[in-house]
Chain A
Amino acid sequence: MSTPVLDAPALVAVEPLTPRNPDRFAARTALVADIAAHFADEVDRDARPPREAIAAMREHGLLAAAVPIELGGEGATLAELSAIATDLGRACAATAMVFAMHQGQAMALWRHGGDALGVTELVHSVAAGALVASSTTERGIGGDARRSTCAIEPDDAGRIRLRKEAPVISYATEADAILVTARRDPDAPASDQRLVICLPAETTLTQTSTWDTLGLRGTCSNGWTLDAETHADRVLRDDYAAISARTVLPVSHVLWASVWLGIAADAADRARRAVRGQARAAVGQTPPSALRLAELLVDLQALADTVRHAALRFDAVADDPEVLESTAFALAANALKINASERVTDLVTKALRIVGIAGFAATGPLSVARHLRDAHGAAVMVSNDRLLQNDAGLALMTGAIL
């Protein structure tokens, strides 16, 4: 009779080890964020990869966080990854974007990869801290990740070749694998895509352009010609239409938006520090800028609610292909990306106005210059107009609100 009562404290005691504990990554994320923040200005100035922070993400298990428990990982939910991405985004947007882009690709491996040795091998590497990059866009296609020109070219010996002119591949030089979209075979239509694992040892990268941009400079999204020669067992089991709809697109949009939330949150922190400085000068009189700060926090909380809700929504249906592939879900995933990317520039701009000249400064403790430049990447990395164009067709089909 009394057993359940006596057991209750024991259950509470083991809570920190369960996936439901929202704070199990917090301490490790804080350690990584400290390193990322330390190098953020240098990474931005030199447009070089955030190597120190990537090494720290590897060391502290953040790159492996989402690997399912049965595959030797910690089984992080998207809600947990979202919180990590935001905390990293506060420190260094480039680091956080590397984290976000990696997770969308990594999750495709175990959710869609199947049992081929070439795939499971990489899953084990990811569990051990490997970093995964991606190459979806292609010259001549525009930014449409759901069409490819390049194709998987098989030979009689079971080997495959593929050559892709990639206008951008983020952090290609730092990655332990690049997942590449390509047509199923040379006769397949542009939309009949597969996802191929290209390991450095089996891939030649020839740089074709340099990533010298306004913001997100540390993602080093240079242009490359990618030549890979590998085995057919490095091709993921599912077709890319399913991989994109069920995993890459919803996960990426949630985690990108989480990063942008982090950029905005740090800008708001700087605004608060500035207002607090003004408030200290005349304690007892609330400075006018405090009202603007309060207003900014309303908008910031609204964005946070939107992002976190989207993460929880994915977690709730993560294993339900029917929902994930529904029109309503696709519209919701695009809505998050469009909404969050528009909001982040707005939020950082408001923070800039609150801080004033110290925020306008290129560097310094109250500068939001990097934040503003990084924030502007949000609307152009996968153009909002392209997403709206996709939505325009879907919008005729459903009015469901998730």
Chain B
Amino acid sequence: MDQDPVSEATSVALATPTTELAVRRALADHGRLTVDPMDVASIADLYALGLTSHATVNVMLAVENELDVEFPDAVLNRSTFATIESITAAAELAP
């Protein structure tokens, strides 16, 4: 694995590995990124990697489905889905 050290450190500090893994899987299945989401740094700009607002909806649904949570309306904005880290943080806060 040639993941950059920053993303590993961040994932340990801010998110449980299962949540972040669920996010990466959702991105792999529905994000239509130009790269493999498993290799993307957790703070990389997903929109720069091909994420569209349309694909975002399916990523959200897949994360909700996988983790049995529901994102509250307040976090459903563009910035929440900008990075793996921010999606993970929102998923962990969701009831």
Contacts and interface: CB of A to CB of B under 8 A. Distances in A.
Interface of A: 269, 273, 276, 279-281, 283-284
A273 B72 CA distance: 10
Contacts of A273: 70
A280 B62 CA distance: 6
A interface majority secondary structure: helix
B64 interface: yes
B interface majority secondary structure: helix
Interface in B17-38: 29-30
Nearest to B60: A276
Nearest to B64: A280
Q: How large is the interface on B (under 10, 10 to 19, 20 to 34, 35 or more residues)?
A: 10 to 19
A276 B70 contact: yes
A268 B70 CA distance: 16
A281 B65 CA distance: 8
Contacts of B57: 279
Contacts of B90: none
B58 interface: yes
A279 B73 CA distance: 16
Nearest 6 CB-CB pairings of A with B: A280-B65, A283-B61, A283-B62, A280-B61, A279-B61, A283-B58
A283 B70 contact: no
A279 B54 CA distance: 14
Contacts of B30: 283-284
Contacts of A281: 65
Contacts of A269: 73
A268 to B, nearest CB: 12
Given A269-B73, A284-B58, 6 more contacts: A273-B70, A276-B70, A280-B62, A280-B65, A283-B29, A283-B62
20 contacts: A269-B73, A273-B70, A276-B61, A276-B64, A276-B70, A279-B57, A279-B61, A280-B61, A280-B62, A280-B64, A280-B65, A281-B65, A283-B29, A283-B30, A283-B58, A283-B61, A283-B62, A283-B65, A284-B30, A284-B58
